[in-house]
Amino acid sequence: MSEVPRQHHLNAFLRNVGQHEAAWRRPETDLSGFTDIDHYIHLAQTAERGLLDAIFFADHPVLKSRSQDRLFDTLDPLTLLAALSTATKRIGLVATASTTYNEPYNLARRYATLDHVSRGRAAWNIVTTANAGAAANFGYPHHPDAELRYARASEFLEVVLKLWDSWDEDAFVGDKEGGLLVDPDRIREINHEGKHFSVRGPLEVPRSPQGRPVLFEAGSSEPGKNLSARYADAIFTAQPDYENAQAFYQDVKSRVKAYGRNPDHVLILPGLSFFIGGTEAQARALQNEFEDLTLPTYGLAQLNQTAGLSLTLDDLDSVFTLPGGGEKNIVMKSRVELLRHIASTETITLRQLLRRLSAGRGHRVVAGTPVQIADTIEHWFKNGAADGFNLIPPALPTSLEAFVDHVVPELQKRRLFRTEYTGVTLRDHLGLSSPARVCESSVSVEDPAAIV
């Protein structure tokens, strides 16, 4: 019997009219798309036509600064994906939500609902929210620091998992003749009393089609990686090059093992932004066209916020350096490490850096032919740097359509990607088995602070 080759996974990050910060300024971009359900239906159906594993929406519960310079994340991902679940049949639906600015009961219920509504295609991308501006929308005096956010996230997840497990699969009896609707012995209170939450349970939603929704996580700092290793089924990460991606892959897989989990059951999906052309020169010209439309005010504000810097437009033609210190003001430590790597290995002006960051903000960016893009994917996949990719189309719908029409067939030709969906749920697409219950799993309810 011939062995089934290891299958590659593809997720599409759908961000309004595209991830490139200047996508909205392209002449062909339909700006009304960003709040229009028909735009999102077209994107979801295009991704499904390409047999992708899932589509994914980010979430930032605050209007970002410099919103005059680029389109922002706008619609609530869970609501949007509930609508898209009715316009699609197979594709997985990944919604981001914050453990800092939500309560576990609310989220457990909403994701279990999406899993039912979509017949087993829901996933939660767990984030702690890096944007400090969110605090003011929730009555917090200030944004909690990373240590506290991750400690809360860890307990938040314990509670959500217990709530999803509070119904046994067969608890809904529906015995009309015998007069028994649900079996109370198969539904449990969780009686969680912790440092951050007190939740009695049970959930009012029966166990969902996937057992529980799939868990994605995107932290790249120490506590972020530990949280992923302990709980996540799949991990998003921003990796600028193969060497960094491979080191991250090995690091996280060994942490997964240390938590007593099977490393093959935790998929690592680095981001991939791409410019596709008939020739490499055409692809590079397209990338340049996008970069020419960037507004330095936006890139500068992002960079200053991410790295705790105070650079101005006067610095644009100076060589970029990243002074040490200022750690207190840093909100995304892993992205700062990427910037430090660039500053220490290259001579690059601030203007050049802002152009470079405009497509992916630290994610890998490839400009080339479909064959060249498939080469990068194959190299990372076969050499221990990725289990698949989180596609980051620079412009929507055009870049997604180009990928589905030109790169997917190339990956299929190389037997790296499915030619049809063989399962129904997202868990099927990702090759993940049914989840163990919290009480049976290796996840112990230890002091969450211990892993921070």
Judged by CB under 6 A, the residue of 21, 48, 53, 59 near ligand FMN is 59
Phi-psi region of 142 (alpha: psi -120 to 50; beta: other; left: phi over 0): beta
Judged by CB under 6 A, the residue of 55, 58, 95, 286 near ligand FMN is 58
Judged by CB under 6 A, the residue of 129, 154, 210, 239 near ligand FMN is 129
Calpha distance 35→80 (Å, rounded): 10
Tokens of 338: 């990427």
Closer residue to ligand FMN (CB): 273 or 369: 273
Size of residue set near ligand FMN by CB under 6 A = 22
Q: How many CA atoms lie within 13 A of 204 on its CB side?
A: 3
Contact between 220 and ligand FMN by CB under 6 A: the answer reads yes
Contact between 154 and ligand FMN by CB under 6 A: the answer reads no
Give the SS3 label for residue 62: coil
CB 69 → ligand FMN: shortest distance, Å? 19
CB 81 → ligand FMN: shortest distance, Å? 13
Calpha distance 220→243 (Å, rounded): 16
* E runs forming strands in 251-380: 267-276, 364-368
CB 327 → ligand FMN: shortest distance, Å? 12
Judged by CB under 6 A, the stretch of 29-37, 115-123, 309-317, 327-335 that binds ligand FMN is 327-335
Contact between 306 and ligand FMN by CB under 6 A: the answer reads no
What sign results for the dihedral spanned by CA atoms 282, 17, 272, 422? negative
Calpha distance 234→215 (Å, rounded): 7
Contact between 305 and ligand FMN by CB under 6 A: the answer reads no
Q: x/- contact string, 84-123, with ligand FMN (CB under 6 A)?
A: ------------x---------------------------
Torsion of CA 20, 22, 26, 31, to 10 degrees: 90
Helix/strand/coil (H, E, C) string of 103-129? CHHHHHHHHHHHHHHCCCCEEEEEECC
Judged by CB under 6 A, the stretch of 101-109, 171-179, 234-242, 245-253 that binds ligand FMN is 234-242
Judged by CB under 6 A, the residue of 127, 151, 161, 416 near ligand FMN is 127
In contact, 388 and 269? CB cutoff 8 Å: yes
CB 146 → ligand FMN: shortest distance, Å? 6
Contact set with ligand FMN (CB under 6 A):
13, 58-60, 96, 127-130, 218-221, 224, 236-238, 271, 332-334, 390
